[in-house]
Amino acid sequence: MADSIIVAHPSFTVGALNRRIFGTFVEHMGRCVYTGIYQPDHPSADEHGFRQDVAELVEELGPTLVRYPGGNFVSNYRWEDGVGPKEERPRRLDLAWRSIETNQVGTDDFLGWCERMGIEPMLAVNLGTRGLQEAVDYLDYVNGEDTTLAGQRAANGREEPWGVALWCLGNEMDGPWQMGHMTAGEYGRVAEEVANAFKRFDQSLELVACGSSNSGMPTFGAWEHEVLSRSLHLVDHISAHVYYEPIDGDLVSFLAVAENMDRFIDSVTATADAVAAARKIDKRIGVSFDEWNVWYQSRFDGEGNLPVREAPPLIEDTYTVADAVVVGSLLITLMRHTDRVAMACQAQLVNIIAPIRTEPDGPAWRQTIFHPFALTSKYAKGDVLDLRVQSPTIDTPAFGPVDQVWSTATYDEEQGDLALFLVNRGLDDDVAVTVDLTAFAEMGLVEHLLLHEDDHTLTNGAGQERVVPKAGQSRLDHNTLTITLPAVSWHCVRLTTRLDRA
């Protein structure tokens, strides 16, 4: 068994934990909306048609933010189709996923669900097949007061403005697969004009410009530079998207993909800071990591081969223990960048590469990746600590030598709660971790939860949730915490200075 040493100190922090990091994503794609969060004829449906069995799992998952309605879907979306009486809403062909969109769920329906769930919404506007005027009209409908469109919203049942603060200016506009995709110069111009109009409407709005669709795009870096050169004075954040899967069976590198996300964030922030310096604008652009997850894209034949159907099952990946460990490591990475990651959305919430799965007329259940998200969202609070870590290394074909232990911690000084989040990214060897807590007041060990199975290919299914958090092996001796990390495992260790709660 290898050894690792971690030193934690309450004065050494990255910054306050940004709770928007625990976001999610609902797109009109496949069965995310229909038979996912919404199914009026389901036994658990509420008076609005939304599934309460799913709502209960969403509440347990603990997302703070949700992006809507896309995704690729938004670049062909007419927001007007999804408001007003349901019986009058048109059926449209969604060109992104070659599906029939019934528009039975639209803006007011979704924002009402967010309000009832206590989740902050982030809306995206169509800058693919539509443009400035339609985007401003949408904003006016959602947030306006004493206007014709605000009156239309009131007639549809919502008198008060929705007050949506977060807006995405399109989606993946550099991608040839996107309806109306653009060059960086074309998009930068559009983003600047839409952002200018939105800020005229309400200076307090937070606007997200489209970054590269992924870091593998040939224009990555150059795209961000040109877009921000046009729009930095008006936008607040720039998007980043990434999905991971094992490449050519390289599981060792897959377990270490947090290295890629870590470098991705550094690259985007460096570009944004360079543009700000060149333009002599004292502004720190945030990274909106509004799509991230494990996605086995190699199993998906592509949208061009899809038959046209209504709410078809699409990319409903079933996740393993190893996938959950990777998801846990990506959450750790996002927290380690809490000073620059403005928000993050795991894509997607239900059925589509999701932590929650459903059967149309049956149950909903937790996938393996549900657990690291739910426990991190629940127990991470306060400040993110800047840990000092000495770890054994593992060799990866994709990233070279990397630390076997990937970790972060949060400390809530007011409550006296310390939470450690750790991953053993090794495929074969366990690690014994010693955590030096000398700088803290006397602590008690509250709980140690781990996600690990001897068979890291185990999955969950309807009525078979075999992979669940279990008690881990740890010991607290005065100010020294010792933790055993089995190979391919994720951990949440909770301590407190309030010894009556330990």
**DSSP string covering 81-148, please?**
GGSS-GGGPPPEEETTTTEEE--SS-HHHHHHHHHHHT-EEEEEE--SS--HHHHHHHHHHHH--SSH
Contact (CB, 8 A) for 66 and 345? yes
Question: Is residue 259 annotated as part of the catalytic site, yes or no?
Answer: no
CA angle 183, 28, 67 (to 5 degrees): 70
Question: Is residue 226 annotated as part of the catalytic site, yes or no?
Answer: no
| Backbone angles phi and psi of 72, in degrees to 5 | -55, -30
Record the tokens describing residue 347, joined without a space.
Answer: 């894509």
CA angle 186, 267, 214 (to 5 degrees): 55
Q: Is residue 73 classed exposed, middle or buried when 0-12, 13-18 and 19+ CB atoms within 10 A define those classes?
A: buried
What DSSP character marks residue 441? P
Record the tokens describing residue 67, joined without a space.
Answer: 């992006």
Record the tokens describing residue 176, joined without a space.
Answer: 């040839």
CA distance 118 to 65: 9
CA angle 470, 473, 476 (to 5 degrees): 125
CA distance 22 to 64: 6
| Backbone angles phi and psi of 86, in degrees to 5 | -60, -35
| Segment holding 193, helix H or strand E | helix 184-201
User: Among the options 101, 172, 206, 453, which is catalytic?
Assistant: 172
Give the Å distances, CA to CA, from 466 to 13, 59, 439, 456, 457. 37, 21, 39, 12, 11
CA dihedral 145, 147, 149, 153 (to 10 degrees): 40
| Backbone angles phi and psi of 323, in degrees to 5 | -60, -40
List the beta bridge partners of residue 435.
6, 481
Contact (CB, 8 A) for 317 and 369? no
Contact (CB, 8 A) for 267 and 337? no
CA distance 212 to 323: 25
What DSSP character marks residue 51? B
Catalytic residues: 172, 291
